[in-house]
Every structure is written in structure tokens, then in C-alpha cells.
Amino acid sequence: MSNLENNLKIIDKLAIGVDLGGSKIGIALVKKNGEIEKYVKIPTNAEQGKELIINRIKQGIYQVIEEKDLQINNILGIGIGAPGPVDYKKGIIHCAPNLPEWTDVPLSNIIKDEFKIPVIVENDANAAAWGEKSFGIAKGIDDMICISLGTGIGAGLILNGKIYHGKNNLAGEIGHIVVNKEGPLCNCGNYGCLEAYSSASGIKNRINNKIKELETESQVLPPLLNFDDISLAQIFEMARQGNQIVQDIVDEAIEYLGIGIASVVNILNPEMVVLVGGITNEGEKLLNPLKETVFQRGMSSHLQDLKIVFGSLGEYAGVIGAAALLWNYN
Amino acid sequence: MSNLENNLKIIDKLAIGVDLGGSKIGIALVKKNGEIEKYVKIPTNAEQGKELIINRIKQGIYQVIEEKDLQINNILGIGIGAPGPVDYKKGIIHCAPNLPEWTDVPLSNIIKDEFKIPVIVENDANAAAWGEKSFGIAKGIDDMICISLGTGIGAGLILNGKIYHGKNNLAGEIGHIVVNKEGPLCNCGNYGCLEAYSSASGIKNRINNKIKELETESQVLPPLLNFDDISLAQIFEMARQGNQIVQDIVDEAIEYLGIGIASVVNILNPEMVVLVGGITNEGEKLLNPLKETVFQRGMSSHLQDLKIVFGSLGEYAGVIGAAALLWNYN
């Protein structure tokens, strides 16, 4: 077969998925079986503003197409997962945490104007959920909560086999379940949200506050200073190495996450809870105590068939899910 | 018109709704506009067992039909709301709290065998939600949480205009959101559930425990003894009359209810939260502080268009909703 014939053969099986994040943008050519044909990762450089980011997205899309010797009019369409509330029907990003200037951006039309092919924009947690449901661990599962654990905590809700959006496309904010009404201040302005305990930013804040508290008591602990730069992986490692302050806060983070999941399970009675995002690198050391809490705190009726698992698509859930919006979406 | 002609004229507009409760059974002939044509209320007498209850349901159905000079084969069908988890597809009641012997009862087939017309069985909280959505305050609302406040706390979830059941027909157990991990024992065996704070049984338990605690401290408070017989309306009245112990527990019940609702709103982003059931008789004295907590605790994005209201069908939400299952159900 000529190169052209070969390309035409696979053309109807390719869509482009874009995962727009606060620090990086992932762009992938995805086959209809969910396999990634080509992937590029570019920095977001959020501080450079909206226009430059949009240009970089366009360039990245051209890049993955050209590097596979394809032409844009042979691509099925482009799916984009973006942070914050998204009007998926109109393709508008209402606002995006960590992306200045991104207010009511009609990203779908902007990208459509450039490439003249179908474009779908979704919330990034929804896109990741759709990826795991379409091609990952949740394939064939119709009632599933896909929890994104990272700087914040969000979720994509798959109910009756479809993404559930809520009245104003704001469903899934499970990071803002109030787990302790007397708890610490959350980024949302409320107190005692799950996110304030169990997200990366929440855990870091709590450790830093504890350090400040100890410093006031004149018990300075040198290894914990300048904590803002430390990664969550390092925090978990410190906990394992016996730092009691860190261990206590990490233990409580996992306990509250389990309690939050138990509450969501009691409300929605899903078949599966899928965990995706940075914290999930912790593996069984996170999953085992987490499951223990969920199974201690959930209703026995709701736990019988419940599966609590890590996503199987890793960091690609977002791009694969965004591409999958083109094939079998709602 | 003859009586028969008159009856035939309204026939296609009537369905029967049954609301099977732990203490009473409501049975109604309902017109297609949601109006009740005939209503009877009979005692459940749960202790007499399953067979006698089923017989009383059958007799009640015959009664409402005969009293309106109709015949059973002219009725569209029978909808039944029942407590506990219900397999609505198979018409089986899996178990029913407060109804001994009710395990895996194929109520739909049993009633269908008797009357030879369509029968649909639903969970009672779902039926009430469907009533408010079809003919009550939530008419035209597609994303709505209908919270039943009584001995326990449950909810019917209307998502995308349909009842959401979850994987095993167990969705809506918002009474078992964990609002305080160190909180009091709940009927479900867990600690610190919303129901342990804000349901009628939870409020009573907490007051009784407080009395026992005070008695141990030799501070017997005569007016609070024999508290098991008191109604929730009386409890609220005592709170209003300045009993500080009762007031504190009632205040906390309302605060936790508000926190639980805020969490559900953040997760599901509904357009409306409808409160039904006994506690709602408290009116604005309950609703105002409750709204205050929800609006303090929910995410501002989710609260913009949110309505928090009492149901408009009162104690008839269950029978009307059960009947409405025949017309415009899922």
C-alpha cells in the first residue's frame, strides 16, 4: 500500500484529544480503539495569557497531524478537556482556575474556525472519566465516579452510561463535600471541605500550618521548612520514613478521602469508583487504607459490588477521553 | 350523559397511586392532571405481617374504584411507592425497614395477578420526588433533589428529567453522608451520618442521650423524661419555648442538614432542592436557618440559581407520584 492509501485506511479511526492543564497541554492523535498514535506535551505557560495558549494548542494539533503525514480534513474531530466549568453544549469555557484571562472563552468555535472540523469541549474531570469509561478500567461500567486527585479534588460522574453535567455544568465537585464543619479553610472560601484535607494543596497547607504552629511554640523543625516547593510524592515518602507530623496529616487525608467517597457512594450507588491523577502514584499504600475507610463508613448494601480502583490510562486519560467524545458521546 | 358514559370519559385520565408506609397506607385515584379524585388512608399494622398488608392494599384499591363507580379494567394502572430498596424493573421490594417479612417481595406481580393491569413499584422517596416533579413545586425542573425528612432521611434524585436509581437501585441515601466522623451512632451502624443528627429519630436519640448524661450527673430534668413518645412537632415547640438543651440539639440538626444539602448541591448541581415529609411542617422556622447554612456552605457557583423549597403536594406527594409513574415514567 502507498503511504496515502495506508493513511486513508486509518483516517476514519482517528480523533484528536487535547488536555488543557494549568502547567501543561497534552495533545494526542487517538485511534478508535483508544490507542494513542501520536502524543505531544507542551508547556501551558499560563502567565503568557489566553491568546498565546490558544496558538500553542493550534500548533500542537498541526504538529501531531503533520508528523503522521495526515491532513486536518481527514481527522474526525477534536475533543478538548479544560479545567473549570465548561458549557459543553456551546463549547464555552466559563472560567479556568490557574488560567488567567480565561473567562467565557468560546474555545470550540475558535478551534473550529481554524480547522473546520467538529470540536467538542468538556470539563477535564469529565473527559478523564469518559476516557476511563470508553477505553480504560471502567469500560462497560455505566455508573461510575471518576475522582481526579491532584492540586484539587474533582470528579466526573458517569450515570446511566453518560456524563452527568448538572443544571449549570457544575456537577462533580466532590472536593467540596463538607467533611468537618469545624475544619480548615478551603480554597473555595468554605471550611472543612474534603479538598482542604485530602488534595495536594490541602495536605501541604495543613503541614505548613502545623509547622507555623510548632514554630510559635519555639520547636522549629528544620527539615520541614520551605515546604512549598516539595512534591506530594516527597510528602508521602517523608510520612513513610517516620515523620510523625507528616504521617498524621497524610493519614487523616486518606481517612477523610475515604469518608468523602463513602458519602458519594451512599448518594449515587455507583458500580465503580476510579481514582486518577497525581496522588494515585502512591499505589497500594494509598489504596488499601482508603478502601478500609470506605468499607467501614459506607452502607453495606452499597458496598456489596463496589469496586474502588485506580484508572488504567494514567496521565493519558484526559487526551484519550477528550478524543473519545467524538465517537460515542452522550 | 349516563353515568357509564361519564365514567368512560374520565377513564383514560385515572391511575391508582399507593403509598406504602410503616404506619399507614395511602391509596388514591389520580387524574392525569395530578388531581386526587378519591383518597383513602388505612393503617399498615406492620406487625400483622406481609400477607395481611397485601390484602389490605388490594381491598383499598377495590374501595377507591368502587366508590367512584369505576371498574378495574378501566383503570390505566397502579403505581406503588414502597420503603427501602426496590428493583423497579422487576417490581420487587428487596427489603423494607419497619415492615417485617418484607424480603424480596415481587409486589408488582402479586398486584398484577389480582387486577390484570400494569403495575409499577418504586422506592417511596423516588415516588414522592416523581410526584413533585410531575405535578408539584418541581414541575418542569429536570435536575432536582427531593429530600424526605422523617424518622429517617432519604432522597429521590431527579437527574436529566428522570429518576436516578444507581447500580443497585440504592441511590439517594443522603441521610448517610458522614457529616462528622466522630459523631453519634447511626441506625446504619456507622457514626456521624446526617441521619443521626437531623432525622426525627436522630434528634430524639440525641436528646435522650443528653438526658441520660445529665441524669448521671444527678441533674434530673423531669419535663424531658419519657421522651420516646413525643413528636417532632413537640420537640420543635419545646425548643421555641426556650428549653436550651432541646434548642441546641435542634439548631445543630438544622445546621448539619444544611451542610449535608450543601455537599449534595456541590456534587450534583441541581436546580432545586425540595423538602418533603414530617419535619417540613415547621415552615419558615426550619427553612430560613437551613437556607442560611446551605448558602454559607455551598459553592457560590452552585448557589446562583438554586431554589430550596418545601414540596407543594404535602402528604399526597407519594400517592400522586406513584400514580404518575403510569403516565410519564422514565
Domains of chain A, residue spans: 3-131+316-328, 140-311
Q: Mark yes or no for CB contact A170/B300 under 8 Å.
A: no
**Which residues on B lie below 8 Å from A167 (Cβ)?**
142-143, 269-271, 305
Question: If you measure CA to CA, which chain A residue comes closest to B297?
Answer: A190
Q: Mark yes or no for CB contact A169/B269 under 8 Å.
A: yes
Average pLDDT over residues A32-58: 95
CA distance B241 to chain A (A): 27
B139 backbone φψ class: left, alpha, beta (φ>0; ψ -120 to 50):
beta
Asked whether the predicted pLDDT for residue A86 surpasses 80, the reply is yes
Closest Cβ–Cβ partner in B169, B270, B298 for A166: B270
Q: Mark yes or no for CB contact A269/B159 under 8 Å.
A: no
Q: Could you tell me the three cell numbers for B269?
A: 448541581
Q: Mark yes or no for CB contact B304/A271 under 8 Å.
A: no
Q: A140-311: same fold as A3-131+316-328? A: yes
Average pLDDT over residues B63-71: 94
* Alpha-carbon span A173 to B174, nearest angstrom: 16
Closest Cβ–Cβ partner in A155, A267, A302 for B177: A267
Question: If you measure CA to CA, which chain A residue comes closest to B94?
Answer: A301
Closest Cβ–Cβ partner in B166, B171, B263 for A178: B263
Alpha-carbon Rg for chain B in angstroms: 21
The reported pLDDT for the residue numbered A218 is 56
Q: Residue A69 in 3-state DSSP? A: coil
- How many contacts (CB atoms, under 8 Å) link A and B? 140
The reported pLDDT for the residue numbered B9 is 53
* Alpha-carbon span A181 to A184, nearest angstrom: 9
CA distance A204 to chain B (A): 22
At A75, give phi and psi (nearest 5°). -90, 140
Give pLDDT tens digits for A129-139. 999 999 999 99
**Which residues on A lie below 8 Å from B179 (Cβ)?**
178-179, 181
The reported pLDDT for the residue numbered A101 is 87
pLDDT grade, residue B98 (50/70/90)? confident
Give pLDDT tens digits for B268-295. 999 999 999 977 888 998 999 999 999 9
Comparing CA positions, the residue from B270, B240, B272, B271 lying closest to residue B254 is B240
The reported pLDDT for the residue numbered A235 is 87
What integer best gives the mean pLDDT of chain A?
91
Q: Which range among A3-17, A271-285, B63-77, B283-297 shows the weakest confidence by mean pLDDT? A: A3-17
Rounded to two decimals, the ipTM of the complex is: 0.93
- Determine if the pTM surpasses 0.90: yes
Comparing CA positions, the residue from A254, A221, A256, A220 lying closest to residue A240 is A254
* Alpha-carbon span B183 to B191, nearest angstrom: 5
Comparing CA positions, the residue from B232, B322, B316 lying closest to residue B276 is B316
Question: If you measure CA to CA, which chain B residue comes closest to A179?
Answer: B179
The reported pLDDT for the residue numbered B50 is 94
CATH architecture for segment(s) A140-311: 2-Layer Sandwich (3.30)
The reported pLDDT for the residue numbered A1 is 43
**Which residues on B lie below 8 Å from A269 (Cβ)?**
165-173
Q: Which range among A226-240, B1-15, B222-236, B299-313 shows the weakest confidence by mean pLDDT? A: B1-15
Q: Mark yes or no for CB contact A168/B305 under 8 Å.
A: yes
Q: Residues of A154-177 as b/e, b for ≥16 C-beta within 10 angstroms?
A: bbbbbbeeebbbbbbbbbbbbbbb
Q: Mark yes or no for CB contact A168/B262 under 8 Å.
A: no
Per the CB < 8 A criterion, the answer to whether A36 and A49 are in contact is: no
Q: Mark yes or no for CB contact A302/B173 under 8 Å.
A: yes
The reported pLDDT for the residue numbered B234 is 86
Q: Residues of B5-39 as b/e, b for ≥16 C-beta within 10 angstroms?
A: eebeeeeeebbbbbbbbeeebbbbbbebebebbbb
Number of H helices, E strands in chain A: 11, 13
CATH architecture for segment(s) B3-131+316-328: 2-Layer Sandwich (3.30)
